[in-house]
Structure 1
Amino acid sequence: MSTSLAWESNHGKDPDVLIIGAGISGICTAINLLRHTPIRNFLLLEKGSQIGGTWNDNQYPGCCCDVWSHLYSLSFEPNPSWSREYPGQEEIHAYLKRVCQKWGLYSFIQFNSVVEDARWDGETLKWCSKVRVTGGKSEEFAKEGYVIKSDYLVSAVGQLNMPYYPDIPGLGEFKGTVMHSARWDWSKRIEGLNVGIIGNGATAAQIVPEVAKTAKTLTVFQRTPNWLVPRDDKKISGMRQALYRYLPPIRRRYRASLMDFRESWYDAAVVEDSDLNNTMRDLCAELMTKQLVDKPELVAKLTPNYPPGCKRIIISDDYYPALNRQNVELNTGTIEKTTETGIVVEGKEIKLDVLILATGFKTVQFMYPIKIYGENGRSLEDIWPSGARAYLGITVESLPNFSMLYGPNTNLGHNSIILMIEAQSRYITEMISQVHHARSNGHTLSITPSNCTVETFNEEIQERLQKSTFASDNCNSWYKNEDGVITNNWCGNVIEYQNRVSAINWKEYEITGSCAETLLKKDKSRLGRVVEESNSALIPIAGVVSMAALGVAAYLVRYGPRRIR
């Protein structure tokens, strides 16, 4: 195996920074390096053949975002031309590609490159990452793979990148078409066929209405019901797009109002048995009853026994109407096995031509399947014996000069994840800058969160999370691991998190190297944050704003357009 073969052949030396993943997190971090540092010797490795991460992987029918388009975009790269309130996959992917082109990121990205393992070298204070080339032109340069050494390693692989396939006996025996939602095959025909879909979460709620239009029959296999609220999606007029383009203050004010609205939903989605959470439950139940007019017997099957927010709340205008169709059946029985011709549920075989797996991702296995080895060869499995954890979801004990984006306990149940990613990227960029500055001046620097820092932080957030809807005993979700530990979600709102990562307290880190004392003398590095909410007193008035938000939702349920009934 040649060392750094592909990278050195083009650049002459190893990168200072290696970023794994070219989705939104990797793109944001790379741009921040260009915006705020002199670092130009960095590399993004992407396992796919295109940028975009989850928005490149997921290309199924009806794929779209459940956050408003003007809030699901980078603050420093607004898009005044979003065509809809909720963007579709193709429009989001096109936006990300435009951003990459504008900032010249393609010259920093190496596609079809899978990082198999990364090891910290305590002598050189560098990360050694083993890369396997999977296809494309890259194979011509490094057919056997190669190793890249970097001063800093960033994981931007996210939480939603490895599809989860259900453990159903006989799944491999099915003779029809099998597709995971994240591996959709558009060459396979669905029209006029008998289709089954396993899952009824956010992804299934987008696929079902589209497939139901053309399938002969569609059977939705439901394990656990979900709460659902109306989307009220609509086109953004050309006049509004022009206003957002030529009068940026109007666009910024609109984005701020969306930020306010989403933050105000925190109590409704996260605080169990709060007045707002109970109001949310009532509105969801009313919407269900209103839209299932032809199949009222489904209401009981679709009503969860857990509070809204315990599992991801579905946002849809057409899921219930799709279930209301005569060619669609909701099956809530226990799946026993798969045969060559269908699925057996409680002794009865349901004949199928196509089986769709809307079963999500391996969300609690952060960094999977990459093998990570930190100080003294300590593996990530040894570091996380009871589940993934990190300080601020960004830095991990025993992993020097390493950071994550969208790491443990940074997912949200109420707002746009991009708001979290941008804050994390600013924090990480400062850490990278310190290491780069030391190296550029002939010094060394190693930064690792102390065990005490990680322990104290995680004790705090887990205690708070136990009081949230995520911790309800009545539901299992991708927010938890098998032991019930909430490894994915943040315990507060976005503003709180942004404030907590607006400065780096160097006393919370174990810092070694020839210029360690210089950094420790700084005490703190103040980064600030992107302030996007329209009212600095948002948190104290959140209850008022939430009631207004729920009032809008109630109006949509009771008097909304006919298409959502």
Structure 2
Amino acid sequence: MTVAGTTEVEVAIVGAGFAGLGLAIRMRREGRRDFVLLERADDVGGTWRDNRYPGVACDVPSHLYSFSFRPAPDWSRVYAPGAEIQQYLRTAAADEGVAEHVRFGAEMSRARWTGDRWDIRTGAGTVRARVLVLAAGRLTEPRLPAIPGLGDFEGPVVHTARWDPATRVDGRRVGVVGTGASAAQVIPQLADRARELVVFQRTPTWVVQRGDRPYTAEERAHFSRDPGAARRHREDIFDEAERGIAARRRLRPAIDELRARARAHLDAQVTDPDLRRRLAPGYEIGCKRIVLSDELYPALDRPHVTLEDSALVSVESSTAVAGSGRRHDLDVLVLATGFHSTRQPYADRVHGRTGTLAQHWSEGMSAYASTAVHGFPNMFVLDGPNASLGHNSAVYMIETQIDYVLGALAHLGAAGGPLEVSAAAEHAYVRDVDRAARDTVWLRGGCRSWYVDEASGRLTLLWPGSARSFRERNAEFDPRPYLGTAGAATA
């Protein structure tokens, strides 16, 4: 309902990526229609809309990186290209009737709790909602390095998450800053096109075999004819990924076997002993995100590709200066430098009962059940604090949180509201997560990573256990930890 330029809805969802669309689809299937998705861009897809660099693809197998309640039997490859994933989300939004609920060009500029509703200001008008769901993701704002002279570089400077297809790289001298997951996908593509390619590596990355391939026509037809076969295939992929948590917990022999697998991959693909030495990480495997690639090492071993094993420290006109002192004349700079992951840019725009979400998260992101935050009634965060994984599919985690939010909405419908989790419950949950994370490779592996909050040193992005353990703890909504409900703890 719209009154005097303000839209009144039961639920406002910020973001139309996997999390926002997944919740919207499930709500529609439950018969809920009183909601809106607020999307700042002009299309759905989130990460898979924004990232269009050459070679972009998922590093979770396609059949697992899709909704369990909306399987797709006809994925083209074991690891789907980014454009195919976005099309999957577009089709899902259209087929499920969600597209009509999306308001594009509606970036949230401020959300404020008014005592019984959320007042949300956007680029497309004001929305008043009983419930606010933040589904903005954690890989949305590119991290641009503070490099002296970068703004004065004479050629194009493009971040992988803001790739401009008009960027000319063919036959030119191209520099890539970074060797993480995005860099590992774009480097082989640029190596095929550039006259010279310089890769600035601040820290080597652990790389394991990817094993990507197209699905055959027979396989795709089989999955289409037999949904049970596709479901079993998904379950097999999930079970194999779940076994990876043992290495992240530094358990033996799992971590030794994973490390040996990565070292064997490096030895098999890089013949130059000096290059192999410079590509060997000095921290424990899994501390940073492990890269899956069969193409990165061969690309770095090509004669026109230079591995600059030090960081880019300054730019002088068209010359990139490395920490080693070496200077590289370039025509194009590609920044594969990641995102603001642990400090979410939207947090200072959300005003709860006593302050902003950024203030509440000043010591690192936190939430009860990785979803609800004390001081922010009727608000839920998807794909936020400790709600992702370093070894399995984020979509599985999102679906767990969707179940939780649907339970909360059902409770609100029956009991009134508002719902606000107690401070004691949030603190106890965070204490449990911190205790579980203490001896994992993410905190004991000897590296700096975007999984860990720089100010507090807490593991704030990842759930430190198995995906199943997250679902066992967090899939079912329980009103008891909430203020003003039966059995609730005090704040």
- Which TM-score tier does this pair reach, normalised by the shorter chain? over 0.9
Query: What is the 5 A alignment of 1:257-272?
Result: 257-268=236-247, 270-272=248-250
Deviations 1:240-261 (A, max 9, x none): 1111111111111111111111
Other structure's SS at 1:298 match = helix
1:88 correspondence with 2:45: no
- Structure 1, 214-223 or 466-475: larger mean CA deviation: 466-475
Deviations 1:493-519 (A, max 9, x none): 1111111123222211113xxxx5xxx
Contact conserved, 1:16 with 1:436, CA < 8 A, in 2? no
Deviation at 1:382, TM superposition (A): 2.6
1:130 aligns with 121
Deviations 1:222-252 (A, max 9, x none): 0111111101111111111111111111111
1:141 aligns with none
Find the aligned partners of 1:5 and 1:105 in 2 and give their Cα distance.
25
Pick from 101, 124, 136: which aligns with 1:157?
A: 136
Deviation at 1:521, TM superposition (A): 7.8
Deviation at 1:150, TM superposition (A): 0.5
Find the aligned partners of 1:171 and 1:41 in 2 and give their Cα distance.
47
Other structure's SS at 2:193 match = coil
1:292 correspondence with 2:286: no
Deviation at 1:283, TM superposition (A): 1.5
Contact conserved, 1:395 with 1:404, CA < 8 A, in 2? yes
Find the aligned partners of 2:312 and 2:193 in 1 and give their Cα distance.
25
Find the aligned partners of 1:265 and 1:191 in 2 and give their Cα distance.
39
Count of aligned pairs: 486
**Larger Cα-atom Rg:** 1
Distance 1:334 1:360, change over 3 A: closer
1:193 aligns with 172
Deviations 1:363-405 (A, max 9, x none): 01135365111114x2113312211111121000100000011
Find the aligned partners of 1:273 and 1:233 in 2 and give their Cα distance.
28
Find the aligned partners of 2:268 and 2:4 in 1 and give their Cα distance.
62
Find the aligned partners of 1:522 and 1:486 in 2 and give their Cα distance.
28
Give the TM-score normalised by the residue count of structure 2: 0.96
1:428 aligns with 405
Distance 1:246 1:273, change over 3 A: closer
Contact conserved, 1:4 with 1:147, CA < 8 A, in 2? no
Unaligned runs of at least 5 residues, structure 2: none
2:60 aligns with 67
2:350 aligns with 372
Query: What is the 5 A alignment of 1:379-458?
Result: 379-438=356-415, 444-458=416-430
Pick from 481, 484, 487: which aligns with 1:508?
A: 481
Find the aligned partners of 2:483 and 2:180 in 1 and give their Cα distance.
42
Find the aligned partners of 2:233 and 2:6 in 1 and give their Cα distance.
44
1:26 aligns with 20
Residue 288 of structure 1 aligns to which amino acid in structure 2?
A: L
Query: What is the 5 A alignment of 1:2-401?
Result: 8=7, 14-36=8-30, 38-122=31-115, 125-133=116-124, 146-268=125-247, 270-272=248-250, 274-293=252-271, 295-345=272-322, 346-366=324-344, 368=346, 371-376=349-354, 378-401=355-378
Give the TM-score normalised by the residue count of structure 1: 0.84
Contact conserved, 2:6 with 2:128, CA < 8 A, in 1? no
Other structure's SS at 1:470 match = helix
Residue 39 of structure 2 aligns to which amino acid in structure 1?
A: E
Residue 285 of structure 1 aligns to which amino acid in structure 2?
A: R
Contact conserved, 1:4 with 1:149, CA < 8 A, in 2? no
Unaligned runs of at least 5 residues, structure 1: 9-13, 134-145, 439-443, 524-565
Contact conserved, 1:5 with 1:147, CA < 8 A, in 2? no
Deviation at 1:32, TM superposition (A): 1.2
Find the aligned partners of 2:78 and 2:3 in 1 and give their Cα distance.
45
Deviation at 1:437, TM superposition (A): 4.3
Deviation at 1:7, TM superposition (A): 5.7
Find the aligned partners of 2:180 and 2:403 in 1 and give their Cα distance.
32
Find the aligned partners of 1:477 and 1:415 in 2 and give their Cα distance.
18
Contact conserved, 2:28 with 2:97, CA < 8 A, in 1? no
Distance 1:77 1:522, change over 3 A: farther
- Structure 1, 207-216 or 428-437: larger mean CA deviation: 428-437
Find the aligned partners of 2:4 and 2:75 in 1 and give their Cα distance.
42
Deviations 1:175-206 (A, max 9, x none): 10110000001112100000000000000000
Find the aligned partners of 1:490 and 1:496 in 2 and give their Cα distance.
9
Deviation at 1:522, TM superposition (A): 12
Other structure's SS at 2:380 match = strand
Find the aligned partners of 1:390 and 1:273 in 2 and give their Cα distance.
28
Find the aligned partners of 2:279 and 2:207 in 1 and give their Cα distance.
10
